[in-house]
Each structure stands twice: as C-alpha cells, then as structure tokens.
Amino acid sequence: MCPDCRPHFVLLPSSGMGHLTPFLRLAASLAAHNVQVTLITAHPTVSLAESDTLKQFCFAFPQVAHRKMSIPPIGDAISFDDPFTLHYEAIRRSSHTLSPLLSSLSPPLSAVVTDMSLTSVVIPITKELNLSNYIFFTSSAKMLAIYAIYHKIAADIAGEGDVFLAPSLESIPKSWLPPPLLSQGHNLLKTHFIENGESFLQSNGILTNTFEDLEKDSLAALNTGLVVNQLPPVIAIGLLSPCAFEGGEVATWLNDQSARSVLYVSFGSRAAISRKQMRELGNGLVSSGCKFLWVVKARNVDREDREELEEMVGKEILEKVNEKGLMLKTWMNQDQNADQKINADLAERNAVAIWEKNWGWGGKESVGEEEIAPKIRELMENEMLRNKAEEIRDKARTALRHGGSSKNNLIGLIESLRQKHRFR
C-alpha cells in the first residue's frame, strides 16, 4: 500500500498510567494495521512510571512518532487534592499549543483520538482544523454511560438520597462515585465531568476499552440513544492486549509459579494506603496461605515515594511476605480512580469477583488482617469464579482475534478513515 494512502492517527492521552497505558496499547494495535500513528504526550509527566513507560514504548515501537506537549505548572491557582486531576487541568489550559503542533505534522492527519478528560478543549481545535475527532474512553461502557449523562443529572446526584437514577441504568449508590462528584458546589473533577460530557455529542465517535460479550446491554443502550440522545457511535475495541515490554521481571516470577495459584494485589497508580493498613494487608496475605504478587504504594505520586519496602511494612512482615510472594514498588495494570466501584460492580455481575462493599470510600477506616485473610481464601478457593474468569478471558481474546467483534470494530474504523483520506 502506498504511504500516502495510510490513515494518520494522532493519539492524545492525559495523565496517569490508567489513561496512558490503554493509549499505548491502542497505538500498538493501530501500528500493527499499517496505520501511521503519532503520540502526543504532556511533558513533564506526573509520575516516574509514566515517563519510564513512555521510554520503553518508544524503544519498542520506533514506527510510532512521539511528540511532547510542554505543560507549565498550574501553580497554586487551583486547590485540589489529586495531582493527576490538577495535571488534566494544566493540559487543558495549554490546549492552545495543540493547534500549531497538529498543523505541523506530516503527512496530513486523518483523525485525532482524544482522552475523555480533554474532550471539551480538544474538539473545538479539531473542528477548526477540519479533522475527525474520536474520544477514547479508557474504562467500561457502564462508566461511560454515567460520564455521558452526568452533566444532566449532576444536581440530582448532589441532592438528598443514597442512590441516583440514570436513563437505561438501574439505581446506583452514590457512594460508588468519588466524593467530588457528589458535591453541591464547584470543584475541578466535577467541572471536567460536566464540560467533557457535554462535548461528547460533538465527537465523531467514542472508542471504549471493553468488548461486546462483556457489556452488551450497556453498549446497546449507549448506541440506541437510551442514555443520551444523538450520542455518536460507541465502538468497543477492547480489551486491548498488553505490549510485550509490560511484563518485565514480574512475568519471569509468574512463569515459575503453578497455574491459577497467584493472587494479584494492587490499588493502582493513583491510590496510596496508610502504613497501618499496609501492615494489616501484609499480615492478611501471609495468613491466607496463598501465593501473591503485591504492588505497594505509599504516596499518591511515585516521585515522592522514597520509602523502602521494609520501612513500609516492617522487617518481620517483609520476611514473611518474601516467603509467600513477590512484593514490588512499581506500577502494574490496575487503577483505582473515579470508575473503580462501577467496574467492581461490573466484575461482580459477571461472576468474576467478590466485592466487600464496606471496604473503601465511605467505609471502614482500616480493614484488619482477620477480615482480609478469609476473604482471600474465599476468592482463591472459589472454583466457580476461576472458571468464569477463564471464560471471560477466552471471550476477551476471541474479541481481538481475526473475525472477533473488537478486531472488526477497529478495522472498520481504520477502513472508514482510509476511504475518507483517499478522497480528500
């Protein structure tokens, strides 16, 4: 195929590993389909994990062009606890630099794929440049439904009552949403949800990191106007496969363990737990008698996390932990953010998870080892959950194979832009 016939995609993620990683996997998938890809990332990143992963990706995929978008610090102009949400805002405030950057790229662009947290500031730029714009919603279709409708029901959510109602969705406990979205006043996260959700209608389509067999009902509701009328097509392209470089030392350790024997423990790239809770968890893991891979985090941002493992959990617990599992200070693929409880509900409904609902936001201050250990054994010894998880895994793999739903959806998107690109 001639180089000029290849569609040229620009991918624009926001901050945090839970946003960056799906974008990198999408870039790899597009490149595998003979698509020219340019990745634009904010510089500097919030976390070391992001910058290290970008270096690994660029080395592994030299065919993907990488451009940096310089982001000045936001300073003390806005007060908000989450550094990643502050970085979203810093990127949004620097969006004026995006237009000349996009205009300078060659060959001409076919489409810009935007992180959902940047939608409202990027779509006006792509419209001005007459470029197709697609949103990449890196979470579940159910969370997308909430995000898309939030701007219309924000006042109801902030009102009285413990649950909220949304079109096509069953009643949802308000405790499943992060506290800023429940506030009656203004805050950064709430503003982003409202402004971005309102902008969804102006996009050419919304890509989601899910697959049809997993969320058939939510995808159908989104695509038939039951959630928001005139929402653009919602295209399931997941679950996107990890890049080969993502395994590292963990893959080597896991390959030495018996099949179905390891529990993975992580609270994601944006959630730190207290030292007390960390030690309770460590003791609970050891007491469970199960093998485990535990990714620890003592600070919200890894650049500030200078404690050694022994300082975090204590020498005695660390020695016990090392006998039963692997404990790491690194990022692994599991994010706790605005969508965590919605996704926990999705996993439980698909019978691949146990969810103790009073642990977490609005729940207990600390969960003791005497509660943790039996829950771990219950999970690891549940044959039905194991079998269902394997079934879902196989369906996810099928969706990405030749003839699979997600594979066909991605190819369909590429071909539609290839035709548009050819007749410009």
> Is 110 strand, coil or helix?
coil
What is the C-alpha end-to-end distance of the chain, expressed in Å? 17
What pLDDT, on a 0 to 100 scale, did the predictor assign at position 336?
A: 43
d(CA 91, CA 71): 6
Mean local confidence (pLDDT), 44-57: 91
* Tens digits of residue pLDDT in 99-143: 999 999 999 999 999 999 999 999 999 999 999 999 999 999 999
* Tens digits of residue pLDDT in 62-100: 999 999 999 988 776 677 777 888 888 899 999 999 999
Amino acid code (one letter) for 391 = E
Do the Cβ atoms of 234 and 208 come closer than 8 Å? yes
Q: Which of 8, 82, 87, 115 is catalytic?
A: 115
* Angle at which helices 275-288 and 315-324 cross, to 10°: 40
In the predicted model, what is the mean pLDDT of the chain? 88
What pLDDT, on a 0 to 100 scale, did the predictor assign at position 262?
A: 93
| Angle at alpha carbon of residue 50, lines to 48 and 52, rounded to 5° | 65
Instruction: Tell me, rounded to whole angstroms, the distance of Cα 80 from its chain centroid.
Output: 21
- Extract the runs of DSSP E, i.e. beta strands, from 161-244: 163-166, 169-173, 205-208, 234-236
- Which residue has 């991605």 as its token pair? 410
Homologous superfamily of domain range 3-242+394-422: Glycogen Phosphorylase B; (3.40.50.2000)
- Is 19 one of the catalytic residues? yes
d(CA 405, CA 151): 31
Q: Exposed, middle or buried by CB within 10 Å (0-12, 13-18, 19+), for 30?
A: buried
Residue 362 has pLDDT above 50, yes or no: no
- Is 256 one of the catalytic residues? no
Mean local confidence (pLDDT), 148-159: 92
CATH topology classification for 248-332+350-381: Rossmann fold (3.40.50)
What pLDDT, on a 0 to 100 scale, did the predictor assign at position 11?
A: 98
Same fold, 3-242+394-422 and 248-332+350-381: yes
What pLDDT, on a 0 to 100 scale, did the predictor assign at position 414?
A: 96
Q: Which of 19, 87, 192, 421 is catalytic?
A: 19
Domain range list for the chain: 3-242+394-422, 248-332+350-381
What pLDDT, on a 0 to 100 scale, did the predictor assign at position 152?
A: 94
Joined tokens for residue 28? 């790899």
